[in-house]
Amino acid sequence: MSILMVANCPGCGKVFQKNLRNLCQDCVSNLQNEFDVCDRYLRSNRKATTEQLSEAVGVSVKQIIIWIKDKRLPVTDYPNLTYPCNSCREPIRQQEMCYPCRSRLTKDIREMQEKDGSRVQQGFGFRSRVGGRF
Ligand SMILES: [Zn+2]
Ligand SMILES: [Zn+2]
The bound ligand whose nearest atom lies closest to the alpha carbon of 21 is: 1
Q: What tens digit of pLDDT does each residue of 73-130 get?
A: 999 999 999 999 999 999 999 999 999 999 999 999 999 999 888 766 655 555 555 5
Q: How far apart are CA 18 and CA 3, in angstroms?
A: 11
The phi and psi torsions of 15 (rounded to 5 degrees) equal -75, 130
**Mind listing the pLDDT tens digit for each residue in 44-77?**
999 999 999 999 999 999 999 999 999 999 999 9
> Distance between CA 58 and CA 94 in Å, rounded?
24
**Ion ligand 2 neighbours, Cβ < 5 Å:** 85, 87-88, 90, 98, 101
Q: What is the pLDDT of residue 54?
A: 98
CA of 43 to the centre of ligand 2 (A): 29
57 CA to centre of ligand 1 in angstroms: 20
Q: Residue 29: nearest ligand to its CA?
A: 1
| Distance of CA 35 from the midpoint of ligand 1 (Å) | 16
Return d(Cα 76, Cα 73) in angstroms, integer.
9
**Any residues with CB less than 8 A from the CB of 45 and at least 6 apart, and which?**
52, 53, 56
**Structure letter (DSSP) for residue 7:** E
- 22 CA → ligand 1 middle, Å: 9
79 φ/ψ angles, rounded to the nearest 5 degrees: -65, -20
